[in-house]
Copies of this chain bind each other. A is one copy, B any other.
Amino acid sequence: MRKLKTERQPEILDAALAIADEHGIDALTMRAVAERIGVTPMAIYGYFRNKNELLDGLVGRLLTSLPQGLPGESWDQRLSAFAWATRRLAREHPGVFPLLFARPSVTPDAVAVVDLIYQALIDAGVPDAEVPRIERLITTFVLGFATSEANGRFSASGDGIRSRRARGDFPAHQRLMAHLDSPADLDAEFAADLADLVRIIRPV
């Protein structure tokens, strides 16, 4: 368990994030990161024990870039700010964002975000015993929505379907045909979803 250097960690994470943003997550290799900061691949191992820890560092970087939550705002303003900021993050870093789902994130950064949501729910009047569950419910949805968008799960309907739909194999699709022109306005949809979720919280 060697002690890690920290000096150039931010520089390395910057490089890694830039590579993933520009060329996709598959292009994020130790060798590519090294080349980008003008160093031999092995130099990276002085700062991160292995590639997995570098990815953990990337997750931490994403989390710290979320808003800290100004104390003056109301609970639903704070919740909403978190949700929209998370979604914006996914759009800015679609390659890296899905890692948030994969990595437990028990880092201080992650706990800080959770603490913010806990506080918002407490302020909303959610009973203490219910707060952790509702927090998981909300972050699961928000993370899931943002990840779906980043991965193209909501678009991509395309052609093959349309014909099959017409063939009548899927009766509900046929009936809803007028409303299936791909989720045109995801901003509006996300807003409506959040409103629905807040309705869960309110009278809990």
Contacts and interface: CB of A to CB of B under 8 A. Distances in A.
A133 B176 contact: no
B154 A115 contact: no
A164 B111 CA distance: 10
B183 A119 contact: no
Interface string A125-161: 0001101110011001101110110011111111011
B137 A196 contact: yes
A2 interface: no
A124 B149 CA distance: 27
Give the interface size bracket for A toward B.
Answer: 35 or more
Interface stretch (A15-23, A39-47, A166-174): A166-174
Say how many copies of this protein the assembly contains. 2
B200 A115 contact: no
Contacts of A129: 179
Contacts of A143: 144
A109 to B, nearest CB: 12
A92 interface: no
A104 interface: yes
Nearest to A104: B156
A187 interface: no
A122 interface: yes
Contact of A172 (B115, B196, B199): B115
A149 to B, nearest CB: 10
B179 A104 contact: no
A159 to B, nearest CB: 9
Interface in A80-106: 98, 101-106
28 contacts: A98-B101, A98-B102, A101-B144, A101-B147, A101-B148, A101-B151, A104-B152, A104-B153, A105-B153, A106-B161, A108-B164, A111-B161, A115-B171, A115-B172, A115-B173, A119-B171, A119-B172, A131-B179, A132-B176, A132-B179, A132-B180, A132-B183, A133-B183, A133-B193, A137-B193, A141-B144, A143-B144, A199-B200
